[in-house]
Structure 1
Amino acid sequence: MSRIGYARVSTIDQDLDTQIAKLKAEGCAVIRSEKASGASRDGRAELATIIDFLRPGDELVVTRLDRLGRDTRDVLNLIHECEQRGAFVTVLDPHVSTRGEMGHIVLTVLGMVAQMERRFIKERQREGIEKAKGAGVYVGGRARIDHGRVIELSRGEMGVSDIAKAVGCSRMQVYRILKGTFERPT
């Protein structure tokens, strides 16, 4: 029977230290962490590893429910997967566990609140963007990949996999950039 901690933040700029310290103080023998969005379970390899590792009697511990996800269905599916493995889920703030029926009800409500909060965040973000566009100061998100470098490397006869490694992205992103280049009129 193990207590396994999971810590998550959404962006690279955010810090995992506070969550990890709380999980250690709670007695988690193993703690896995990652920097990934909680909007879905896609791209969250550490969480998938924990779920695969869970054994009967183990306990998945998170500091807050929104660390597991911001979509009620995803959170409930995750809790169900843990239970199918005979494991429990415990949230530290507020302290709730799936060891009892009341815990299930509370976690369902908290999951719905997390999803609602995500919708509010997106709504405020959308309003802010519209306001900035109206004021003529919106420039859009910054490019995370240097498209020019991708194109330059492809002209140098470098393969897609090598380009992806060189610029730090997926092969699919390289294909999209190159496809966009060939479709544009010159």
Structure 2
Amino acid sequence: MIYGYMRISTQKERQTTDRQRITLLQYAEENSFTFDDIVEERISGTVKAAHREVFKALKTKTLRKDDILIITDLDRLGRDADDVIAELKDLKAKGIRVIALDIPYMNEFKKAQDSSIYNMVVDIVITLKAHMAQQEREKTVSRINQGLAVARAKGKTLGRPQAELSKVFIKEYEKFMSGAYGKISALQFAKIQGIGRSTLYKYINIYENKQSSEDKQ
């Protein structure tokens, strides 16, 4: 059995899968076969394949061993490179062959008929896809690090902005430190202020850092 899967990442009616359908039908005519069915799905490309209802139903209820799934673009198979790789591996394990018309060698109908050739081709595609995904991740990390370095060079403070202490807390904390509250614990002081212990220690740390900074000036 031969199936086609089309996806567009919008719910707008003016956006259609016509281009994909025409491409799939031309491919079928060129290779002298007829699709048993072509299904389409309107869903964001950010949604993982496992959460796409139409694709999930096609994979779990329709496709069987030795069936062929044809798509116009390999990336329509998943949300990102990792998702595409996972789907390719899963379909291969189930004995389902994927033809992606935008991928050289993976778009040849005759090669998909030969299990040994198909398995070799799809393994190469998975390896290349994984390598490209890793390179993209490394580039992203590199760009982030470069941006942070530039920000530091310009004297920008990175991370979340430090909380500002209210004048009321500073006044009460200094009274606590001077003994004006009597012999009470820090936890009791926190309860009086209506804050938790962790919040108190965070405020104390901010207070002490501020005091240390002012002493150095």
TM-score (norm 2): 0.47
Gaps of 5+ in 1: 124-186
Partner SS, residue 20 of structure 2 = helix
Measured after TM superposition, the shift of residue 72 of structure 1 is: 2.0
Paired position in structure 2 for 1:46: 54
Paired position in structure 2 for 1:137: none
Measured after TM superposition, the shift of residue 73 of structure 1 is: 2.1
Matches within 5 A, 1:148-159: none
Contact 1:36 1:43 in 2 (8 A): no
Change (3 A) 1:12 1:50: same
Paired position in structure 1 for 2:24: 23
Matches within 5 A, 1:34-183: 34-39=41-46, 40-41=48-49, 43-52=51-60, 53-97=62-106, 99-110=118-129, 113=132, 116=136
Paired amino acid for 2:36: A
Once residues 21 and 51 of structure 2 are traced to their aligned partners in structure 1, the CA distance between those partners, rounded to angstroms, is 20
Once residues 93 and 67 of structure 1 are traced to their aligned partners in structure 2, the CA distance between those partners, rounded to angstroms, is 11
Once residues 48 and 84 of structure 1 are traced to their aligned partners in structure 2, the CA distance between those partners, rounded to angstroms, is 16
Paired position in structure 2 for 1:10: 9
Paired position in structure 1 for 2:40: 33
Report the structure number with the largest CA radius of gyration.
Answer: 2
* CA distances 1:70-118 after superposition (whole Å, capped 9, x unpaired): 42221122112212221111100124437131332224424665895xx
CA RMSD of aligned residues (A): 2.9
Once residues 84 and 30 of structure 1 are traced to their aligned partners in structure 2, the CA distance between those partners, rounded to angstroms, is 22
Paired amino acid for 1:25: Q
Contact 1:66 1:111 in 2 (8 A): no
Measured after TM superposition, the shift of residue 41 of structure 1 is: 2.1
Q: Which has the higher helix share?
A: 2
Contact 1:72 1:112 in 2 (8 A): no
Change (3 A) 1:90 1:50: same
* CA distances 1:32-64 after superposition (whole Å, capped 9, x unpaired): 111112222254111111111111111111101
Measured after TM superposition, the shift of residue 19 of structure 1 is: 0.4
Once residues 112 and 71 of structure 1 are traced to their aligned partners in structure 2, the CA distance between those partners, rounded to angstroms, is 13
Partner SS, residue 49 of structure 2 = coil
Paired position in structure 2 for 1:131: none
Change (3 A) 1:44 1:56: same
Paired amino acid for 1:41: A
Paired amino acid for 1:45: E
Partner SS, residue 5 of structure 1 = strand
Paired amino acid for 1:47: F
